[in-house]
């Protein structure tokens, strides 16, 4: 049967072409801004979408105009046979680009002699990798993530570079009292490796204590610090990477850095093209909204493709104009459970 491609557009004109798929709520780290330090109960296996179920939903989304998928978590690389799963995504008609968000700790792991996890992912079809790195200080890294994995992440970044992805980006969440002294060191680190670095504002997606007036650093403040060192940053209005980051060039260099100012950028949601699928089968039209819709239920009750397609269209129709983060948003689901 020929595949017909439709387009998903919400009532505010957001065209949905990007699906973020969380494949697990588990993680080998415990970042303070993402999940509580104490041992958490993971979801039981039967409440997690199987790879088959996930692939079916990605296929349905692709039939509705989704062309880019990003695999996230929790830590996606902790899920067994993640490479085998990803290898099947390029077979889905309409999917043109596969990204992965990872903490980087497992990228350098050897799967076979001379073959790293990173190279296996590249061979499986992953084009772009986002690696979280908030600091170059090993001690502070341990404080932020609850684990002493800094060295593994640095090796993971090298493994990603060697694997030859189309794009490798570094993501640093801004936190006063933790990494405000790391802006320049991180920029130099990224420059030496020719990687794009993005600074992300802390968002209230975890427990309520995570974000407060004391530890929040607005991206404009980070930008000012960077400009006091390098001179005025040159806006790159034409450059986009599917997400809401705004990019700049450092004067006199080819280096590009980005800012993700979900809290302070009032235009943040205007170009939103995203839908999220959580690992337990909920569709979330917006990260900063309580809205979520259980697609696992109809899926497991035997819904047809047509019914699931309609479910997706209905979710998109409920997509809000913008997130609620500035409305004293109280998170009801941790980031790790949503998939950042
Ligand atoms: C939830 S993680 C999942 C993928 C992977 N485990 C990782 O750390 O990159 C995705 C991204 O969300 C970011 N993140 C998590 N909690 C956040 C928060 N409260 N505010 C801003 N970004 C956050 C992380 O830094 C990471 O870049
Ligand atoms: S940000 Fe990523 S690495 Fe850190 S706890 Fe969340 S999922 Fe794990």
- 33 CB less than 6 Å from ligand 1? yes
- 107-146: per-residue pLDDT in tens? 999 999 999 999 999 999 999 999 999 999 999 999 999 9
Mean pLDDT on 318-324: 68
Residue 3 Cα to ligand 1 middle (Å): 35
Residue 26 Cα to ligand 2 middle (Å): 9
Helix 150-163 and helix 138-145: axis angle, to 10°? 100
Residue with tokens 């209230």: 204
The secondary structure of 280-317 as a DSSP string is TSEEES-TTSS--EE-HHHHHTT--HHHHHHHHHHHHH
- 29 CB less than 6 Å from ligand 2? yes
Pair of tokens at residue 162: 């060697």
Residue 238 Cα to ligand 1 middle (Å): 26
Backbone angles phi, psi at 240, to 5 degrees: -135, 155
Say whether pLDDT at 208 is over 60.
no
Mean pLDDT on 148-155: 98
CA 187 to chain centre: 20
- 161-176: per-residue pLDDT in tens? 999 999 999 999 999 9
CA distance 108 to 246: 30
pTM, two decimals, is: 0.93
CA distance 105 to 151: 8
Residue 336 Cα to ligand 2 middle (Å): 6
Residue with tokens 């809205």: 291
Pocket test for ligand 2, best of 33, 38, 75, 150 (most atoms within 8 A of CB): 75
- 340 CB less than 6 Å from ligand 1? yes
CA distance 81 to 64: 27
């Amino acid at each position: 049967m020929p595949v017909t491609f439709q387009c998903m557009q919400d009532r505010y004109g957001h065209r949905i072409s990007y699906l973020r798929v969380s494949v697990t709520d588990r993680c080998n780290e415990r970042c303070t801004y993402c999940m509580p330090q104490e041992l958490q109960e993971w979801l039981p296996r039967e409440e997690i979408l199987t790879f088959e179920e996930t692939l079916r939903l990605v296929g349905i989304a692709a039939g509705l105009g989704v062309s880019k998928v990003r695999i996230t978590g929790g830590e996606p690389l902790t899920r067994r046979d993640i490479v085998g799963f990803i290898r099947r995504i390029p077979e889905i008609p309409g999917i043109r680009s596969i990204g992965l968000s990872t903490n980087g700790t497992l990228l350098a792991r050897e799967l076979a002699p001379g073959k790293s996890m990173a190279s296996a992912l590249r061979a499986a079809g992953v084009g772009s990798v986002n690696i979280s790195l908030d600091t170059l200080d090993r001690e502070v890294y341990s404080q932020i993530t609850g684990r002493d994995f800094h060295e593994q992440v640095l090796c993971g970044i090298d493994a990603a570079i060697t694997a030859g992805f189309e794009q490798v980006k570094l993501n640093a969440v801004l936190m006063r009292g933790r990494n405000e002294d790391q802006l320049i060191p991180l920029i130099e680190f990224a420059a030496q490796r020719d990687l794009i670095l993005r600074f992300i504002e802390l968002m209230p997606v975890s427990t309520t204590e995570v974000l407060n007036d004391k530890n929040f650093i607005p991206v404009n403040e980070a930008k000012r610090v960077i400009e006091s060192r390098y001179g005025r940053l040159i806006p790159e209005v034409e450059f986009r990477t599917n997400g809401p980051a705004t990019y700049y060039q450092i004067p006199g260099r080819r280096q590009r850095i980005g800012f993700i100012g979900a809290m302070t950028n009032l235009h943040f949601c205007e170009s939103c093209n995203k839908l999220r699928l959580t690992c337990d089968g909920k569709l979330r039209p917006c990260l900063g909204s309580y809205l979520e819709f259980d697609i696992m239920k109809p899926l497991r009750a035997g819904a047809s493709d047509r019914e699931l397609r309609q479910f997706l269209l209905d979710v998109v129709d409920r997509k809000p104009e913008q997130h609620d983060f500035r409305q004293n948003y109280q998170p009801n689901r941790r980031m790790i459970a949503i998939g950042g």
